[in-house]
Amino acid sequence: MTRPVLTDNAAWKRARPAVSVLIPFLRDNPTELLALLDEEAASVSGAVEVVVMDDGTGDAVLTDQLRAQIQGMALPARLITLTKNEGRSKGRNRLAKAARGGSYLFLDSDMRPDHRRFLKDWADLVAREDPAVAFGGFSLLQAPEDRKFQVHRAMANKSECIPYMDRARQPEKYVYTSNLLVRRDVFEAEAFDASFTGWGWEDVEWAMRVSRRFTVVHLDNPATHMGLDTVEALARKYEQSAPNFARVVGRHPDIIAAYPSYRVAKLLRRLPGLDRIRPLMRRAASIDWLPVTARAFSLRLYRAALYAEAVQ
């Protein structure tokens, strides 16, 4: 691990938090999220601290801006600055080591709380029930509506922005580190697997492991996922995620067998000439004049075709 540079504010040393909000980022700017969280400082009465980690962005101007913001926050806050990227799993494990609360709230830097009781609701839940794992859900309420993001918006609305009652039916499936509460002892028993590199599946695989030992609950305390992608960017992420999907298949075949992505991948594996057809799926998803639903379907097929190599 790289040697971090720490920046603490005045409230950090004396704080005794129950919840630690853990925010990793790489090349994003988390200043708006931090400002929104800090608006709730008075309502949580010292129960919440914030730890934000720059995972090797290397932007001196942004670092100076963040240091100034951290030092001016009312919430107890720490900035961890890394000079070298460690990756999603290692980074979140590092954040957990810096946390002092009994529960960790993992929150991505491109999230925005959908209401002004976001931290208060999480702190109240911990005080009242102290759950092992809880996911608050996310929405696209505040997300950009640019035409270039319409395929991602359609896909997220269908498969990720799910009401909490529906998420609870498959609790391990709808767990993302975008708005995830984990009790300290649970995380110490089951940390994120650092062998997952690139993008995708490390949070779902973690939830599969955890769900075998602990109860995963779902609630309605959403935040908006602001970081919508273009088709090209999503396709690149899916390409990165294929090896991670293969790891999940190898470790949790009983759970993954119920997922639509696995079932479709298994069907596509039998298709003659899949290697030649797969690029056509990606190309169709990029055709602007096609209906958004058709483009989204093509991109989902492309993802399943990438995953086909990992199934038997």
- Cα distance from N-terminal residue to C-terminal residue, the chain: 36
Quote the pLDDT of residue 49.
98
Task: Say if CB 43 and CB 120 are below 8 A apart.
Answer: yes
The C-alpha torsion from 60 through 65 and 67 to 72, rounded to 10°, is: 170
Question: CA-CA distances (angstroms) from residue 175 to 135, 265, 267, 271?
Answer: 6, 21, 26, 31
pTM higher than the cut 0.75 = yes
Give residue 89's identity as a one-letter amino acid code. S
Task: Say if CB 78 and CB 50 are below 8 A apart.
Answer: yes
Instruction: Label residue 312 by pLDDT band (50, 70, 90).
Output: low
Question: CA-CA distances (angstroms) from residue 187 to 24, 27, 77, 148, 211?
Answer: 17, 26, 21, 38, 12
Does the structure show a pLDDT above 70 at 163? yes
Quote the pLDDT of residue 203.
83
Task: Say if CB 108 and CB 207 are below 8 A apart.
Answer: no
Q: Domains of the chain (ranges plus CATH)?
A: 5-228 (3.90.550.10), 230-312 (no CATH)
Q: What number of other Cβ atoms are within 10 A of residue 258's Cβ?
A: 10
Strands 48-55 and 19-25: parallel
Find the mean pLDDT for residues 264-283. Answer: 92
Instruction: Label residue 97 by pLDDT band (50, 70, 90).
Output: very high
Q: What number of other Cβ atoms are within 10 A of residue 62's Cβ?
A: 18
Question: Which residue, chain included where needed, has tokens 């990720």?
Answer: 160
Question: CA-CA distances (angstroms) from residue 5 to 52, 59, 66, 139, 222?
Answer: 12, 14, 13, 34, 32
Does the structure show a pLDDT above 60 at 1? no
Find the mean pLDDT for residues 124-152. Answer: 95
Strand partners, 285: none
Quote the pLDDT of residue 137.
94
CA distance 302 to 231: 11
SS3 content of the chain, % helix, strand, coil (to 5): 45, 15, 40
Does the structure show a pLDDT above 80 at 194? no
Does the structure show a pLDDT above 60 at 183? yes
Quote the pLDDT of residue 250.
86
Digit-coded pLDDT (tens) for 282-293: 999 999 999 999
For residue 190, what is the DSSP state? S
Strand partners, 7: 79
CA distance 114 to 112: 6
Question: CA-CA distances (angstroms) from residue 283 to 236, 264, 286, 294?
Answer: 13, 19, 5, 12
